[in-house]
Amino acid sequence: MGKESSALLGILAGTAIGATLGILFAPDKGTTTRQRIADEAAHTKDMLSEKATHLRDNVVTTMSSKKHTLDEKVENIVSDASHKAEDVITTLERKLSELKAKNKNLQKDSNLSNAAKINV
């Protein structure tokens, strides 16, 4: 968008300068020349204002679209992270349960060994 606006501004400036120089070198009365310059300046001002409004609207539309896209991406990342965290928690809970079962078996074996030693 920057190249377009720079090119457009250059074209408008060149047109305004060319029209002003053409009017200045034209064989007319001073009042007529001044009026033509004023009219051309008003026309150029209106064109620039219109182009600036158009450019602003494009920027607002683009920014709104980018913000919406960014919001969606952030939401997807958070959702994915939440699912992955849930998977990790589930895996850790399963491992903890397995370790508790192994520990319980080790304690039973240890108790049985101690009981056997006491009986001997």
Average per-residue pLDDT in the chain?
Answer: 83
Is the per-residue pLDDT at 120 higher than 60? Answer: no
Q: What residues make up the domain containing 84?
A: 2-119
pLDDT tens, 26-37?
777 778 877 877
Q: What is the CA radius of gyration of the chain?
A: 40
How many Å apart are CA 49 and CA 52, to the nearest integer?
Answer: 5
Distance from C-alpha of 57 to C-alpha of 63, rounded to nearest angstrom: 10
- Per-residue pLDDT for 119 more than 80? no
Q: Say how many domains are in the chain.
A: 1
